[in-house]
Structure 1
Amino acid sequence: MHTFTWAEFDLLARSEGGPDLVRRLRTADRSRRLLLLRDIIDKVAAAPSLSGPLPSPERAWDLLVLAQETDPAALDEVLTHPYTGSWAGHTTRLLRQLTTDPRPLWVHIGHIYSLAAAAAVRARVGNFRTSVPVWRGDVTLPTLGLVQLGDAPECETAELHSSGGRIEIRTGDRVVVLPADPAADAPGWQGIRTAELGTGRRRFSVRLDDVDPYRGLFGPMAPDRLRPEDLATWRALLGEAWELIDRLLPGFADALPAGLDTIVPRPPFPFRLPSASSGEAFGSALISRPEDPVTLAAALVHEFQHIRLGGLLQVVRLHNDDRTERLYAPWRDDPRPLGGVVHGIYAFFAVAEFYRALGAEQPDDVLAAFEYAHWRYQVVRTLETVHADEALTEPGRRFLAHVAERAEAWRHDEILAIAEHWSDLIAADHHAGWRLRHLRPAPEAIELIVGGWLRGEPGPAIEDVGTTLTTEADGDWANARADLLRVRLGDDGARRAQAVWREVPGATEADFALVDGRGEDSVEAYRTELRSDPDEPTALIGLGLALRVTGDEAAAAVLLERPEVVRAVLRGIRGRSAPEPATEDVARWLSAAW
């Protein structure tokens, strides 16, 4: 039984508590994994055919026990490995027929043999022999690396034999011998590479795992080996990112190594740094290769928060099981359930803290000031939205109250005016785009408004026009303006934005003019886009932003605060075969009683 005192709970809510609390979360997760592992074995024992060509998984359990007797720390290394958790979750869902997978079920069940073999190798168990599953010629030894047996049937078994310090994997006439140092590559063997970070007491190793099949979020992934030059880039960027975290956020730097020890390196994503983690894979994050160490540092603290909270949720309920996608989250383009919003608050709290510290150290860094202003506003705004949500438990309310208490210190920080300006605009951009695509105004109300326009009546009050939330987006959305702005506010931003804006996914000439400070040009460019496609979401919201920048507050307010009403009215007018009005004319008309 794993329990935490309220004092320890409060420390975690405040993103405090150091590495010991994180290790205890990991220990609790280890217990959960053992229960799942044992449950998988028991289910297979009741239906032996599930093992396929492999022996009963009880034999793998016996090897795990032997590894524990020989070197308990070696077994722990395998059991607490992030992808032991994701394997246990995925295989459990397969057994319960909650998901599907192209690999035969016995291959997933048989992964327990791979776990046992890896633990025995790590524990230096003298002589042992075990079967392991092979998928498309690959045998995984979690935490160690990948055996590649070459051309093979889609799935088969192999024998792993350890004798006198020699470890070989054999099937038929194909044999691979592990090198003395498993981290090194050898013929038929790809070891798990690491990045050595930090100095002194904060020195630790981070795995760069590009081979484990269970390193993905939603199911197995094929190996995707980093090229040597990419590996060197990752190591350099991680070293610089860690130096920033160590210097700027020493409290996070103390705790993070206990909770984030494995990174799945993903290819670069233009002008963004996508990252993700899973509650089942405690200790791991998927991160796209960044352009610079600053954004990587922010991603590391962000994913560490997700991991820390995911561990806490294994021992305490912060909200009920309401999974309705009903809430606005400023870091997502779709409606989110309460649990996802709570996770986002906690993760972006850390991002705001990072940029707050960076801005304090570099007060003339406009991009850092923007990132702090933006995430400070979004976290506080979202806290205010959900703090009284009925789906929160008492611990959940207590948790968010502590986050809000920490965030209260932000209110008195002075931020560069230009950063505040762009933060407000980008926040309005995203929220308006979300409303436009996910809120449907009441048809009867829109019909009355359209009739009033056609009869030349004064604009109606629209405050009370009801809406219905839907998860099906009405139109596409690109966060191109936010991506462009980050380029524009960065080093040598004016020149670089001019050079690369066409490469930003979804960006238009109107978007570039807006972030380049050419408000009138952007108004005209968005008008041109809307004449071509009057229904286009990003152009409709872009026009609202451009009108705000150029001082047309009345039309901008309606376009940004009730865009779903404006678009529905425009559609209604077009549906009556009436002359096509200018978007801002309808917005100004609607603003008369706003």
Structure 2
Amino acid sequence: MSPPLPDHALRRLGRTEGDPGTLHALARDQDTRRLLLVRALLDAAEDAPATLCPPRALDRLRQDWTLLETAERADRNAVRAVLLHPLTGPWAQRCLRGLATPATDAPASGSGLRADLDHLSALAAAAAIRSATAFTTRLTAHDGLLSLPTLGALRTPSGPVELAFGRDELTLRHATWRAPLAVHVHHDATTGAADPRWLPVLALPPVRPGAAPVPLDDVDPYRTDDSGLRHHGLRAAPHLDDHERKAWAESWSRVPSLLRMGGEHRLTETAVLLRCLVPLGRPPGSGPAGGSAAHCSATRREAFGAVLSSRPADPARFAATLVHELQHTKLSALAALAPLHHEDATPRHFAPWRPDPRPFDGLLQGAYSHLALADHWQRLALGARRVTHRDLAWTEHARCREQVGAVLPVLAGSAALTREGRVLVDEMIALYHRLDDCPPPAGHSARAEAYVATAKVIWQQRNGPRHPRESP
């Protein structure tokens, strides 16, 4: 893996920033881990008992690996675009868990695992298409959908689908169809077809020149699997219709300028770290029309570079969602490279942004992301021209800053911080105090203080008997 980061890089990360070199170092480390994970999957399949990975399935995995190697010789970057796609991570982790199933449980898990292992065929086919490598193969559609990661998906009856790719056209055939379906593959790996059964992945424009387009991936079958979202009443959005796609694209078009208002570093971290957006359904309480500010978003440690989000109510909240979630991406990547603490995972801490007790790591993650939001909203407030925009920004800044101030003493007082963790937290505290140089109007501060005080009273009523009261 990559060597530890120098202190000057840690200090910049502690200020919720990060120069391009540091961000690329975090991304390279995550990429190395992903490639090792995919290779470990193949090794685990080789070692698995036949009850989990029958000889026929193992032979297919080897064929898929050969196609990946052929495609990589043609275009290494094209193959990496597929293997390093964020949603390949949850799939690989799921397969490894399945291959590690105890022998006594193998019959119950075998069919699901084999469907998961089939997905390597789709990954290999997508990599070959992106690298302009001609091939023919047969893939299996599951649950009425055949996904080609990063490219799109095919609505089709479950069962085998014949694929043939040459030059810039993919031809698909199914036993129940009267005629094959043709998909055109453009030079930038976007796809299009006249047939509505083909569901292309929408590519949002880069946030700045030289950056990569951002896929809005609403078809990958592993985009929310095993993510824990259902515990909170959340779910992946179904395939977006033209109206929804247009709404996402229109909102996205204003995001780069808003990120730049929050500081050039916000644009940089988005350009380096954001690799795909996964649309979520509207959260409970958002209303049937989805017009309220109710919103949900998340990241997944095993899906580096993905931000899962319902469509924000406006571009300002879209930009803030990226600021918020990419801090989790950044901090998780840093913690994988250099552990930040040795606290246990007991959920016992008060966090003003959550109704439930949080473990120390969750407290650190939340404080870090809310500190970045406080900084971002303050910059927007100072640069806003319209009164309504300025008022919204000061409101959000004051709330986030007050929330961070409520938990910083717990972080600072932990004796379990590593040296790297101490550097990080000290810089977080320094940034928190620097925000005082431009305080919000008094009314915003008073409302934020009341908000956090009320949240703490409610939290103590719910959790106080089981969880000791936190220090102020």
Give yes or no for contact 1:318–1:395 (8 Å, CA) kept in 2.
yes
The more displaced of 101-110 and 289-298 is 101-110
**Does 1:138 find its partner at 2:145?**
yes
Q: Which residue pairs with 1:44 in the alignment? A: 45
The one-letter code sitting in structure 2 at the alignment partner of 1:72 is R
Q: Which amino acid aligns with 1:399?
A: L
SS in 2 for 1:73: helix
* Counterpart position of 2:392: 367
Q: Kindly tell me: are residues 164 and 179 of structure 1, through their superposed partners in 2, closer, same or farther at Cα, counting changes over 3 Å?
A: closer
Match of 1:96 in 2: 100
By how many angstroms is 1:25 displaced? 1.7
What corresponds to 1:498 in structure 2?
none
1:416 has 2:447 as partner: no
* Compared CA separation, residues 45 and 56, structure 1 to 2 (3 A): farther
> Is the 1:144–1:191 Cα contact (8 Å) retained in structure 2?
yes
Contact preservation (8 Å) 1:273, 1:295? no
Match of 1:114 in 2: 122
Give yes or no for contact 1:277–1:306 (8 Å, CA) kept in 2: yes
Q: Which residue of 2 aligns with 1:177?
A: 182
Q: Does 1:2 align with 2:2?
A: yes
Residue 335 in structure 1 maps to residue 343 in structure 2: no
Range that drifts further, 10-19 or 350-359: 10-19
- Counterpart position of 2:275: 261
CA distance in 2, matches of 1:251, 1:297: 13
Q: TM-score, normalised by structure 2?
A: 0.86
* Counterparts of 1:338 and 1:160, CA distance in 2: 49
With over 3 angstroms needed to count, the CA separation of the structure-2 counterparts of 1:219 and 1:111, relative to structure 1, is farther
Q: Secondary structure at the match of 2:313?
A: coil
Superposition pairs of residues 89-238 of structure 1, within 5 angstroms: 89-97=93-101, 104-126=112-134, 128-149=135-156, 151-152=157-158, 156-174=159-177, 175-181=180-186, 182-187=190-195, 188-198=197-207, 201=209, 204-216=212-224, 218=226, 224-238=238-252
Show CA shifts across 1:5-49 (max 9, x none). Answer: 333333322233333322222221122122221222122222345
Instruction: Give unpaired runs (5+ residues) of structure 1.
Output: 441-467, 471-560, 563-594
In the TM superposition, structure 1's runs of 4+ consecutive aligned residues that sit over 6 Å from their partners are 98-103, 220-223
TM-aligned CA deviation for residue 103 of structure 1: 6.9
Amino acid at match of 1:108: D
In the TM superposition, 1:282-361 aligns within 5 A as 282-320=304-342, 322-361=344-383
In the alignment, is residue 67 of structure 1 matched against residue 78 of structure 2?
A: no
| Distance (Å, rounded) in 2 between the aligned partners of 1:404 and 1:320 | 20
The question of whether the paired residues in 1 share the 8 Å contact of 2:211 and 2:272 is answered with no
Residue 264 (structure 2) pairs with residue 250 (structure 1)? yes
- Equivalent pair of 2:44/2:96 in contact (CA under 8 Å): no
Q: How big is the alpha-carbon RMSD for the aligned residues of Structure 1 and Structure 2?
A: 2.7
In structure 2, relative to structure 1, the CA distance for the partners of 1:247 and 1:115 (3 Å cut) is same
1:517-553 Cα offsets, whole Å, 9 max, x none, are: xxxxxxxxxxxxxxxxxxxxxxxxxxxxxxxxxxxxx
SS at structure 2 position matched to 1:104: helix
* Structure 2 residue 471 is matched with structure 1 residue 436: no
CA change 1:109–1:398 in 2 (3 A) is: same
Q: Distance in 2 between matches of 1:392 and 1:30?
A: 26
State the 1:185 CA deviation.
4.2
SS in 2 for 1:167: strand
Rounded to whole Å, the distance in 2 between the matches of 1:327 and 1:102 is 40
Which TM-score applies when normalising by structure 1? 0.69
Which residue in the other structure is 2:421 paired with?
Answer: 396
Q: Secondary structure at the match of 2:336?
A: coil
Give the aligned residue type for 1:71. Answer: D
Quick one: structure 1 residues 377 and 418, their matched pair in 2 at CA, closer, same or farther if it must change by over 3 Å? Answer: same
Checking the alignment, whether the CA contact within 8 Å between 2:132 and 2:167 is kept in structure 1 is: no
CA–CA distance in structure 2, aligned partners of residues 247 and 197 of structure 1: 17
8 Å contact from structure 1 (residues 274, 287) kept in 2: yes
Q: Which amino acid aligns with 1:255?
A: E
When structure 1 is superposed on structure 2, of 11-20 and 26-35 the one drifting more is: 11-20
Q: How much does 1:165 deviate?
A: 4.4
Work out the CA distance in 2 between the residues paired with 1:131 and 1:264: 27
- AA aligned to 1:85 is G
Which AA in structure 2 matches 1:216? T
Aligned letter for 1:190? L
**Partners of 2:237 and 2:280 within 8 A in 1:** no
Per the TM alignment, residue 283 of structure 1 is displaced from its structure 2 partner at its CA by 1.0
Residues 263, 287 of structure 1: 8 Å contact kept: yes
Q: Distance in 2 between matches of 1:322 and 1:105?
A: 32
CA 1:417 to 1:254, structure 2 compared with 1: closer, same or farther past 3 Å? same
The amino acid of 2:164's aligned partner reads: H
**Percent identity for Structure 1 against Structure 2:** 29
* Corresponding residue SS for 1:290: coil
Q: How many residues align?
A: 439
Structure 1: how far apart are the matches of 2:215 and 2:226? 20
CA spacing shift, 1:415–1:321, aligned 2, 3 Å: closer
Q: Residue 78 in 1 paired to residue 78 in 2?
A: no
Give per-residue Cα distances to partners, 1:160-180, cap 9 Å, x unaligned.
332454423344344443223
**Contact preservation (8 Å) 1:113, 1:132:** yes
Instruction: Name the aligned partner's letter for residue 368 of structure 1.
Output: A
In 2, the alpha carbon distance for the partners of 1:202 and 1:254 equals 11
Of residues 361-370 and 29-38 in structure 1, the stretch that sits farther from structure 2 once superposed is 361-370
